[in-house]
Structure 1
């Protein structure tokens, strides 16, 4: 399994970040390639099923996802249920900030947060690129599945970074330079 983990400090209370991340349909606002998220069933808790429609170049694909566990206000686990072997989670870990360090932080990030609360938000994905098969996608004539895979795989890391950065901007109420901690364990990325 390949792995991507992206994390960032967010200057909001842990509970606020967690509730924000439970809103899977809102994720389409953060991704360049995610056009829509449709709730098939559920209310965001375990067992909730979503259809995530991705579009890139001349391709469109709807991934079927299921929330497998929710441990409020810490963690949301999910799994793809069709075509591609992938699973992951969002983790929200409260941070105790040193007041001196908080003063050094971007003032815009903490201006709407007078208590100086913060948390670390982590998006972790495990996936098997070899589980995606050519028959899953309707490819244009003369386009090989291997070519498509070679173009899509490098975009996964950039897209994970984009999603976390945009989510931080929405949580804090304005964009800022976000220091991301990115870990990749893959021969393809």
Structure 2
């Protein structure tokens, strides 16, 4: 999924690298504990989710960073999953028009930081996972509750939760509320 954020790309990157902050935005993410590291590659986290009668702690690790444009991560327990955050700085006006570049050179020197945040950066979350790697053994399910039933109930919540998390994060990054246009691409028949 992706959206535009009217904020400095370095600020957005620092915000996204602060994994423990994520619990402030999600209804179902109760806590993020740092197990080791200081945010860079090799940093490990325990993310505790709770929904209905189920509590689950996922373990993740930051696998790579390219400040201020990319944070790669993977889940290290119970499921084959990983992904990345991408922050793409806004192109300066006229960047795609070579004829306009000469006239913009003088204007570029006059750009202020406020002008740059008027042009949004693109923020994207990419997640890949192997649904076949999930097992009911990873969850302490109530008696007579199947993993298939849990998945069937949880999947509709995923998009709504993603939208809520992004709206709250954008509000804090930009300092005001607004409707957030969220582009979601799903390569799965289940979600």
> Structure 1 length normalisation: TM-score?
0.86
**Root mean square deviation, CA, Å:** 1.5
The number of residues matched between the two structures is: 171
Partners of 2:157 and 2:142 lie apart in 1 by: 20
Q: Within 5 A, what are the aligned runs for 1:97-108?
A: 98=93
Higher helix share: 2
Partners of 2:62 and 2:156 lie apart in 1 by: 26
Partner of 2:163: 161
Deviation of 1:97 after TM superposition, in Å, equals: 5.9
Partners of 1:159 and 1:84 lie apart in 2 by: 20
Partner of 1:15: 10
2:81 equivalent to 1:86: yes
2:30 equivalent to 1:26: no
Partners of 2:146 and 2:88 lie apart in 1 by: 42
Q: Give yes or no for contact 1:7–1:164 (8 Å, CA) kept in 2.
A: no
Partners of 1:151 and 1:57 lie apart in 2 by: 10
Q: Give yes or no for contact 1:67–1:79 (8 Å, CA) kept in 2.
A: yes
Unaligned runs of 5+ in 1: 1-5, 100-112
> Structure 2 length normalisation: TM-score?
0.85
* Cα distance per residue 1:58-99 (max 9 Å; x no partner): 000000000000000000000000001110110000013659
Higher strand share: 1
Deviation of 1:181 after TM superposition, in Å, equals: 1.1
| Max Rg structure | 2
Q: Within 5 A, what are the aligned runs for 1:48-87?
A: 48-87=43-82
Partners of 1:95 and 1:76 lie apart in 2 by: 18
Q: Which has the higher contact order (CA 8 A, sep 6+)?
A: 1
Aligned in 2, Cα 1:129/1:155: closer, same or farther, shift over 3 Å? farther
In structure 2, the residue corresponding to 1:149 is in which secondary structure?
helix
2:128 equivalent to 1:126: yes
